[in-house]
């Protein structure tokens, strides 16, 4: 069981939420659609990129709190295949922020025993970004604590396309033309191969949609949505999501 005072100070709202959590029934995998950075900035008459920058503090807090709680996998949706439609300047700021985050936070990621991973068409990102990602992946590859999974140039449909192409390549290589398509085979060819599906999907900013995120994997995820914009999302919101998750009756289609 986690040391509660390492997560939130005694007497705080976070601490009382922690006391309501059953540590034997934590969601193993939490996925987050971090939304509302632009609206957070607009509400303050700031440029959109100020919202992305402010969102980094939320990333840090959620990563650190999840690792201390004992969450196994945290998947964060940072950049979608559709986000290339945004102005070039916003895209390049987002990429710089990612690089800056990795430069500043890698030592703390290592210290917290977190393994850094990515999902998405990462090979299409600029070479310097790929290098930063590779460095973080390599330097944390021996860590056996939480997996921090960043979705970059990610799309749920693109992932399925890539999975089917990968299955076709495998069939062509090994000549097993009688390969049977099963759910397990498809899961094994997704970017998330080897990871359990998310138990809890959090979306911030009040939007009620999935936005092409982990379409296959969230089949039975519990969804928790909040009107809070991502830059305002704090430890207490994460803990509240977990408390609410633990009140749900997960039946997986059964009774
Ligand atoms: C959605 O807000 C957010 C994004 C597209 C980017 C999220 C990125 C970060 C929080 C920073 C970098 C991430 C890491 C992991 C270091 P939006 O711009 O769609 O907001 P809006 O809907 O209010 O316009």
Q: Which residues of 38-57 are buried (b: 16+ CB within 10 A; e: fewer)?
A: bbbbeeeeeebbbbbbbbbe
pLDDT, tens digit, 9 for 90 and up, residues 60-108: 999 999 999 999 999 999 999 999 999 999 999 999 999 999 999 999 9
34 CB under 6 A from ligand 1? yes
pLDDT bucket at 4, cuts 50 / 70 / 90: very high
Which residues does 202 contact at the CB level (< 8 Å), separation at least 6?
Answer: 30, 31, 32, 33, 224, 225, 226, 238, 241
| pLDDT tops 80 at residue 195 | yes
For a mutational test of ligand 1's pocket, the pick from 32, 38, 40, 228, i.e. the residue with the most ligand atoms closer than 8 A to its C-beta, is 38
| pLDDT tops 90 at residue 202 | yes
C-alpha dist (Å) from residue 189 to 74, 88, 116, 193, 250: 20, 32, 20, 6, 26
pLDDT bucket at 176, cuts 50 / 70 / 90: confident
Instruction: Find where tokens 């803990």 sit.
Output: 239
Q: What are phi and psi of 217, to 5 degrees?
A: -75, -20
Q: Are strands 115-119 and 200-203 parallel, antiparallel or unpaired?
A: unpaired
| pLDDT tops 80 at residue 1 | no
| pLDDT tops 80 at residue 121 | yes
Known active-site residue 83: yes
| Separation between Cα atoms, residue 78 and residue 119, nearest integer Å | 10
pLDDT bucket at 2, cuts 50 / 70 / 90: confident
**CA 138 centroid distance within chain:** 19
pLDDT bucket at 255, cuts 50 / 70 / 90: confident
One-character DSSP codes across 171-236: HHHH--TTPPP-HHHHHHTSTTTTSPPPSEEEE-TT----TTSSTTTTTTPEEEE-SS-GGG--HH
Nearest to residue 213, comparing CAs of 194, 237, 192? Answer: 192
| pLDDT tops 80 at residue 24 | yes
C-alpha dist (Å) from residue 114 to 26, 33, 141: 18, 20, 9
Read off the pTM.
0.97
pLDDT bucket at 48, cuts 50 / 70 / 90: very high
129 CB under 6 A from ligand 1? no
53 CB under 6 A from ligand 1? no
Q: What are phi and psi of 201, to 5 degrees?
A: -115, 120
| Separation between Cα atoms, residue 120 and residue 154, nearest integer Å | 4
pLDDT bucket at 21, cuts 50 / 70 / 90: very high
Nearest to residue 75, comparing CAs of 236, 161, 200? Answer: 200
Instruction: Find where tokens 């920058």 sit.
Output: 53
Percent of the chain with pLDDT over 70: 100
User: What separation, in Å, do the N-terminal and C-terminal C-alpha atoms of the chain show?
Assistant: 31
Nearest to residue 190, comparing CAs of 98, 100, 121, 252? Answer: 121
Percent of the chain with pLDDT over 90: 96
pLDDT bucket at 178, cuts 50 / 70 / 90: confident
pLDDT bucket at 44, cuts 50 / 70 / 90: very high
Domains in the chain, ordered, with CATH?
29-246 (3.40.1180.10)
pLDDT for residue 119 = 98
Residue 22 per-residue DSSP state: -
For a mutational test of ligand 1's pocket, the pick from 33, 35, 44, i.e. the residue with the most ligand atoms closer than 8 A to its C-beta, is 35
Mean pLDDT value across residues 144-165: 98
pLDDT for residue 226 = 98
């Amino acid at each position: 069981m986690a040391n509660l005072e390492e997560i939130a100070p005694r007497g705080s709202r976070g601490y009382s939420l922690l006391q309501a959590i059953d540590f034997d029934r934590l969601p193993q995998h939490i996925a987050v659609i971090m939304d509302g950075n632009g609206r957070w900035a607009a509400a303050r008459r700031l440029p959109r990129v100020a919202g992305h920058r402010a969102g980094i503090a939320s990333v840090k807090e959620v990563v650190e709190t999840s690792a201390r709680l004992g969450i196994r996998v945290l998947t964060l949706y940072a950049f979608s295949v559709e986000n290339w439609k945004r102005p070039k300047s916003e895209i390049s700021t987002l990429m710089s922020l990612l690089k800056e985050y990795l430069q500043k936070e890698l030592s703390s990621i290592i210290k917290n025993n977190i393994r850094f991973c990515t999902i998405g068409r990462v090979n299409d990102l600029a070479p310097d970004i790929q290098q930063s990602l590779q460095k973080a992946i390599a330097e944390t590859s021996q860590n056996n604590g939480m997996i921090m999974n960043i979705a970059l140039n990610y799309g749920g449909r693109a992932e399925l396309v890539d999975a089917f192409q990968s299955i076709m390549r495998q069939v062509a290589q090994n000549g097993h033309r009688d390969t049977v398509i099963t759910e397990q085979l498809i899961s094994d060819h997704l970017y998330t191969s080897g990871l359990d599906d998310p138990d809890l999907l959090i979306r911030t900013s009040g939007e009620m949609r999935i936005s092409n995120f982990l379409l296959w994997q969230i089949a039975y995820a519990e969804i928790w949505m909040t009107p809070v914009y991502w830059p305002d999302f704090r430890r207490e919101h994460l803990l509240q999501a977990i408390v609410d998750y633990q009140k749900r009756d997960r039946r997986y289609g059964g009774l």
